[in-house]
Structure 1
Amino acid sequence: MSLIWEQQHDGVCYQVRRRRTTLELYANGVQHSEFHPRRLVTGSVWDLLWLPALLGEPERLRRVLVLGLGGGTLIPPLRRLLKPECLVAVEMDPLHLTVAREVFQVIDDDMETVEGDAVRWLRDYQGPPFDLIIEDLFAPRDESVTRAVAADRDWCDSLSRHVSEQGVLVMNFGDYREFRDSHAAGSAAMAGWASRFRLSCGDCHNAVVAFSRLPARSVHLRRRVQEHPALASFVRDGRLNYHIRQLN
């Protein structure tokens, strides 16, 4: 592994390391993003964040919001699979945005990026709802993988208010216990949602939870992955590594 980019900012050491053709973004030694210029999948937690878009008909997900862009790992698969009409990303960390724009080079004219606090931005937002919200808020100062924003009632309600009638909400938790102990795991969090799923993979402890407005089943996601020409080969060779189960 070679170091190709490094900066210090506000007590945090940011590095981008290259592993063969893979680029990895670290903050204080904790990996925050991974980018494969030649393929859509990472084989790790970042795949779990966009996979729920395949729970329903991807063409319905026209407006996409990413809260916590990091280095922008999610942007290429979202573009390829959804072709969204509107793509907005909010990121508090200016160095993450620098990596996404200058190192990973995933920010283009087809998306809007906002440097700022995702919680404040969403609570102030007055525009039309989003069909897909991916919430992936982890602090660069942390030396362990834990959420930067508590998944309490206020935050879950704020997220839910901005998801459309056909939409999907995806939330990333450091592990299943963190999800289990949050408001998002309770029955009250299911108000307005038809289905809830947990996604996981073998090489990380994260628990990614997806809420769907429309009734959905995990078999539908698996089928769409198998039938998609850009994804099926990754499943066959084991590079798209995921497990999904319904929680309600």
Structure 2
Amino acid sequence: MAIKHTEIKNGVRYEVRTAGASVRLYTNGVFHSQWNPNNPLIGSLWDLFLLPVFLLSPGTDCSELKSRLARALVLGVGGGAALNQLLALHPECIIDGVDLDRVHLRLAKRYFGLGRAGVNLVCQDAELWLKSAASEPYDYVLEDLFRESDSQPGEAVRCFECDAMWLEQLFSRLRDHGLLVINFESVAQLNAACRILRKACLAESAYAFTKNGYHNAIGVFCKMPIDHKVNEREILKWAAACGMISARYSQRIRDFSVRRIRL
């Protein structure tokens, strides 16, 4: 693995490493992002941010799916792997990305190909941005706000608790048919958020996406009921129909689980 970029700013060490066509971002040793333009899905945790997009449209008609994915918001850009996956599926999708780390955004543009039309990267605290910035509602909102652990250097933890006020702010930016995707450290954190959603009646549909080898649980929520069939097999059929699965990584990509949560 080659080191393409190294810098230290305000006591934080940033590295961009490459292996073949794959690009990785590390911040103080924390693995933030990986992107390979030849393989949009590689069997990593980041795949679980994109695979729920299938819920926007039943069946394998990619043109219908893309029509329901016009605008996306990503809170916590890192190197931009999640943004690149969305663009690999739908190059015309308009994406706003918010990250507090200015270096992350600069490296995302320089090494991860995100200095392009249709991608608006903003350096700001995500909470402040949600409260103050005006925008059209989104079809897809990803909340992936993590920082380095104070007690365990090199480990990533959520920036703050996903409480009722935060969930309300996230849902306020979502279209009625849209998806809210949140990266939780654990199933326990996801279940706690679902208890809040039940009490507040913010969502009609909820799913948990998990993957072997990871403690994280990806929560996927929608204001409206999702009535079509959702399981691992159907999601993989959609991904294959849209050209998102390569033969090289097909077995790794299959190693995930999806579970419907009653609200």
Fold in common (TM above 0.5)? yes
Q: Deviations over 1:199-238 (max 9, x none)?
A: 1222322111100233334235344224333337467443
Aligned-partner Cα distance in 1 for 2:106–2:112: 9
Q: CA offset at residue 155 of structure 1?
A: 0.4
Report the equivalent of 2:238. 224
Q: Distance in 2 between matches of 1:244 and 1:6?
A: 38
- Give the corresponding residue for 2:98: 90
- The number of residues matched between the two structures is 247
Amino acid in structure 1 at the alignment position of 2:68: R
What TM-score comes out, normalization by structure 1 length? 0.89
Provide structure 2 residue ranges, at least 5 long, that are not aligned to the other structure: 58-64
Kindly, what percent of the aligned residue pairs are identical? Answer: 28
Q: What amino acid maps onto 1:211 in structure 2?
A: F
SS at match of 1:238: helix
Gaps spanning 5+ residues in structure 1: where?
none
- Secondary structure at 1:146's aligned position in 2? strand
Tell me the equivalent position of 1:205.
215
Which aligned pairs between 1:89-238 and structure 2 lie closer than 5 A? Answer: 89-140=97-148, 143=153, 144-180=155-191, 182-188=192-198, 191-216=201-226, 217-219=229-231, 220-231=234-245, 233=247, 236-238=250-252
Equivalent position amino acid for 1:14 in 2:
Y
Structure 1, residues 184-213: CA drift from partner, whole Å, max 9, x if none? 444536723221111122232211110023
Give CA-to-partner distance per residue, 1:154-209, whole Å, 9 cap, x none.
101110111111110000012223333x4344453672322111112223221111
In the aligned structure 1, how far is the partner of 2:71 from the partner of 2:79? Answer: 20
Q: What RMSD, in angstroms, separates the aligned Cα atoms of the two structures? A: 2.3
Q: Equivalents in 2 of 1:126, 1:238: separation in Å?
A: 40
Secondary structure in 1 matching 2:156: coil
Q: 1:42 to 1:232 in 2, by over 3 A?
A: closer
Alpha-carbon contact 1:41-1:240 (below 8 Å) kept: no
Question: In structure 1, how many angstroms separate the alpha carbons of the residues matched to 2:33 and 2:95?
Answer: 19
What is the alpha-carbon distance in structure 2 between the residues aligned to residue 160 and residue 13 of structure 1? 34
AA partner of residue 15 (structure 1): E
**Matching residue within 72, 77, 93 for 1:69:** 77
